[in-house]
Amino acid sequence: MARRDRSTSTPLPPLPPRLPTALRPAAGDDLREDLDWVGVEVQGDLSGLVAGGLDVAESRLSGVLLTGARLQGMRLTDTLVEDADLSGADLAGALLTRVELRRCRLTGVLLPDARLRDVRIVDSKLDGASFRMATAERLRIEGSILRAADFTAARLDTTQLFDCDLAEIDLSGARARGLRLHGSVLEGLRGAEHLQGVVLDTTQVLPFALRLFAALRITVDDDRDGPAP
């Protein structure tokens, strides 16, 4: 039976990575010249790696350092990433399918024009991350920090940002059909006027309404006569 994904129904969770039962150990310099990582467990320091078009499939990245890496057009499929550091990494145009990231540092990571399908991010730090014009389908981010993250003009179909710090994030021009923000901090959120179809919990109504009023220049004032001329 086909999976149903409608904003009016309870959204389905992302599909988990399909990992093989055994993985081949791989680390450090052995991977710097290889653009195909398949069925491997990657560890070590790969900071500053330049590998446009890198293809990672059916693998686990455990504690790997990829700070400042240039990985434009990277393809990540059926992959688990744990305790990794991708701060400042450039993943513009990346394609992520059935990927899970846990306890990762992604401060300032660049994912503009990326496509994310069945992606789950848990207990991670994504402050200042860029998802400009990214396309997400069944993206779930839980218990993570996304302060000042940029989702300008992103397409966020059936996306869930649960129990996250979303202070100062920018959702201007985003398509938010089925976007759910339960339990998340919304102070300073920008682009509230673009979030048609967003789903909130009751504790978020007031802070979201205040951001929406500000964006639409709506003033709440009990003085019927207004200020004196």
Taking alpha carbons only, the member of 47, 12, 16 closest to residue 32 is 47
CA distances from 59 to 2, 20, 218 (A): 27, 8, 51
pLDDT in tens, 92-145: 999 999 999 999 999 999 999 999 999 999 999 999 999 999 999 999 999 999
CA atoms within 13 A on the CB side of 130: 15
**Model-level pTM?**
0.85
Q: Please tell me the predicted confidence (pLDDT) of residue 187.
A: 83
pLDDT above 70 (res 203): no
Q: Please tell me the predicted confidence (pLDDT) of residue 32.
A: 74
Using CA atoms, how far apart are residues 177 and 160, in angstroms rounded to an integer? 11
Tokens of 12: 């389905």
Altogether, the residues listed in the chain come to a count of 229
Between 195 and 226, the more confident residue is 195
pLDDT above 80 (res 27): no
Check: CB of residue 23 under 8 Å from CB of residue 9. no
pLDDT in tens, 147-190: 999 999 999 988 999 999 999 999 999 988 878 888 888 887 88
Check: CB of residue 82 under 8 Å from CB of residue 61. yes
